[in-house]
Structure 1
Amino acid sequence: MIVETTRPATTRRAARLRGALLWAAVAPGCAWAAVRLGGLDRGPLVQLLAFTPYAAAGSLLPLLLALALRRRGPAVVAALASAALVAVVAPRALPSGQPPAAGPTVRLLTANLLAGAGDAGALVDLVRRHRVDVLAVQEFTPAAEVELQRLGLDGLLPHRQLSPSIGTVGSGLYARFPISAGGVRHNRGGWGFDQAHGTVAVPGAPAIRVESAHPSAPYAVDQVGHWRTDLAAQPPATPGGPLGILAGDFNATLDHGPLRALLDTGYVDAADQVGAGLVGTWGPYDGDWIPPVTIDHVLVDRRIAVRSVAVHRVPGSDHRAVLAELRLPAG
């Protein structure tokens, strides 16, 4: 009798333990979904949200476990969390409809040069091979400017608005076509990154204002306020006015509320438009365990059609360059 009484009690304790462990496995996905859907990107949660695509994939594991163990409650909750995360992530891998733009094609490349350490030869080669029309660079130094000129970038993209600086704050904009109303905007937060900008005159299309974007990075909790300030200060789209493009290192993914708010002014993310929105642009790619995230973007006015987006490695930089082929409205 003692044995018969003990066995059911032991079985019940084991079942409760399994249930508790299963709920513990389900809880992170639920919390992540609540933070992402609630736009609660504050403090250390800002950095975590950059990895939401990985969290969406990982949330399927507790669901499969709950189904295998036939635990209805955890399975339902896990399914809801997974569905929420997949719903916000999966569309980035699917192409969207494009506006009926009938103007010329423009190829735009953006690259963060990691305080000038990015390989200038590789960058010029990308410009030459892909017939790039507009180049936006961040963390642009005087040495990088000299090296790019030596390698022939001026012959490929003769028009420019440059603000080189030692360290990480420099910015530059090069174009095949004339640039007018050029200038440099200085972000107030964090490191105070510069953003070179200008109006590019593409034959056969309306003039386009292009800016090399580089808001502050939320690399520490005390920097999150600067990050939010810089993103909020980015020039909004003007759906009823001139065309605009923001291209660069935004230090934010599509899972961050401030970037989504910027898109809501009238931009689209070029990579997201063509189903390439999950391709990582920031590593690091030196063997560290941190997986790639997508923080470099080309944001274009919704009247501009996106034909293709590709990322390219630039040796020496921890960012990958983003190349977008765009079809402009007719002028």
Structure 2
Amino acid sequence: MTEPELGRRRRWVDLGIAAALVVLVAAGAARWLDTTAQPVIVLQTAGPFVAIGLLGLLVATALLRRWWMLLPVTVAVVVAATMALPDWFAHTSPQAPRDLTVMAVNLSFGRADPDQVAEAVRAHSVDVLVATEITPDAERALDKSGLDQWFIERAGETRPDSFTGTMVYSRFPLTQVTGGDPVDAHTPSLQPEVVLDVSGTPVRLKAVHVMAPLAGETEQWRAGLRALATWRDRQSGDQPTLLAGDFNASPGHPAFRALSAGQDDAHRVAGLGWVRTWPFVDHRMPPYVQIDHLLSRKLTVVEAGEVAIHGTDHGIIWAAYSLPRR
């Protein structure tokens, strides 16, 4: 190969690296766009792929010895790493007592395997279960699997052949305090709010099922997340609170980050890294994003995890908490 041909080849390689870098940086920067444009909302869930792509581009640039392109690629990788790495380091208190264990599951129109749900509840000694998309048949199936013997109280409502039913099951006494809350006006799903009496300490829990950001419904999706942030802000600063369920949003979405500010996202606190709770079944793609969350305030996260089961496109999430010591 002649020197002019070699020079042209190098320029094309540099152009390819630059183009790949621009595309990846633009995709990563989308996470700061507070928009209801559905293509951008979908793109905002691609953060892990952006980080992986940048790392691969860094390796390729080094192997190709395009040293002058190595600096901007390295800067982009460092920026991505500063955002991604904290999720891989735990800040839990594993020695603290497990006073309260909460689990949330989207039953996918009631189709989730009830025996596997019950098995997960027993395996993790769950005290409170938030079940969204629960139908009357699903409630009966869960009871038949033994949850009627495990939990002493429940609140909420089932809905036949619908994704709008939500139930809160509890081993602790609870008081339902839902009643025409304007926070719930932006979703057709029930989002019952209860106060749990956890060994004498009141814990306020609100079940969450925000609308999915489907075409034509993204305004309501963002409004639902903002409404939950309003709910968070009006709670007493001294009372432990929990938001649990299907948020249909990830940390890549500005509205979710605004909602989770000042709260502990259990799986991020537990340092579990790239948590994926959707989609699991009936989808051509593997699970790649966490849209189910447990957000708490005034509680100490002891441990957290997720469980995949049959029949639902969502993973089950759970977390164990320690109450504030008096």
Does 2:168 correspond to 1:173?
A: yes
2:259 to 251, 254, 262: 262
Label 1:150 to 1:74 Cα distance change in 2 as closer, same or farther (>3 A).
same
Q: Is the 8 A contact 1:119 1:316 kept in 2?
A: yes
d(CA) in 2 for partners of 1:124, 1:30:
44
Instruction: Give the count of matched residue pairs.
Output: 319
2:61 to 56, 66, 90: 66
Q: Is the 8 A contact 1:41 1:256 kept in 2?
A: no
Q: Deviations over 1:73-115 (max 9, x none)?
A: 422221122222221122111112659x977611111100000
- The 5 A counterparts of 1:1-331 are 7-36=2-31, 38-43=32-37, 44-96=39-91, 105-166=99-160, 167-183=162-178, 187-189=184-186, 192-204=188-200, 206-220=201-215, 222-234=216-228, 235-236=231-232, 238=235, 240-264=237-261, 266-285=262-281, 288-301=284-297, 303-330=298-325
d(CA) in 2 for partners of 1:11, 1:104:
65
d(CA) in 2 for partners of 1:29, 1:82:
10
Q: Is the 8 A contact 1:33 1:81 kept in 2?
A: no
Q: Compare CA radii of gyration and give the structure with the larger one.
A: 1
Q: Is the 8 A contact 2:28 2:44 kept in 1?
A: no
RMSD: 2.4
d(CA) in 2 for partners of 1:14, 1:102:
60
Could you say what secondary structure the match of 1:236 adopts? Answer: helix
Q: TM-score, normalised by structure 1?
A: 0.88
**Structure 1 counterpart of 2:239, which letter?**
P
d(CA) in 2 for partners of 1:104, 1:311:
17
Distance apart, 1:285 and its partner CA: 4.1
Distance apart, 1:41 and its partner CA: 5.0
Could you say what secondary structure the match of 1:241 adopts? Answer: coil
Label 1:70 to 1:129 Cα distance change in 2 as closer, same or farther (>3 A).
closer
d(CA) in 1 for partners of 2:302, 2:11:
55
Q: TM-score, normalised by structure 2?
A: 0.90
Label 1:130 to 1:210 Cα distance change in 2 as closer, same or farther (>3 A).
same
Q: Is the 8 A contact 2:176 2:192 kept in 1?
A: no
**Structure 1 counterpart of 2:165, which letter?**
G
Distance apart, 1:151 and its partner CA: 2.8
Could you say what secondary structure the match of 2:218 adopts? Answer: helix
Q: Please say which of residues 47-56 and 69-78 is displaced more in the overlay.
A: 69-78
Could you say what secondary structure the match of 1:317 adopts? Answer: coil
**Structure 2 counterpart of 1:242, which letter?**
Q
Label 1:228 to 1:287 Cα distance change in 2 as closer, same or farther (>3 A).
closer
Distance apart, 1:313 and its partner CA: 1.8
Label 1:311 to 1:91 Cα distance change in 2 as closer, same or farther (>3 A).
same
d(CA) in 2 for partners of 1:90, 1:286:
31
d(CA) in 1 for partners of 2:43, 2:157:
32
Label 1:22 to 1:129 Cα distance change in 2 as closer, same or farther (>3 A).
closer
Number of the residue aligned with 1:3 = none
Distance apart, 1:263 and its partner CA: 1.5
d(CA) in 2 for partners of 1:128, 1:40:
40
Could you say what secondary structure the match of 1:275 adopts? Answer: coil
Q: Is the 8 A contact 1:161 1:183 kept in 2?
A: no
Q: Deviations over 1:269-326 (max 9, x none)?
A: 001111124221112345723442111111111x211111111122111111111111
d(CA) in 1 for partners of 2:190, 2:135:
12
Could you say what secondary structure the match of 1:315 adopts? Answer: coil
Could you say what secondary structure the match of 1:297 adopts? Answer: strand
Could you say what secondary structure the match of 1:88 adopts? Answer: helix
Distance apart, 1:117 and its partner CA: 0.3
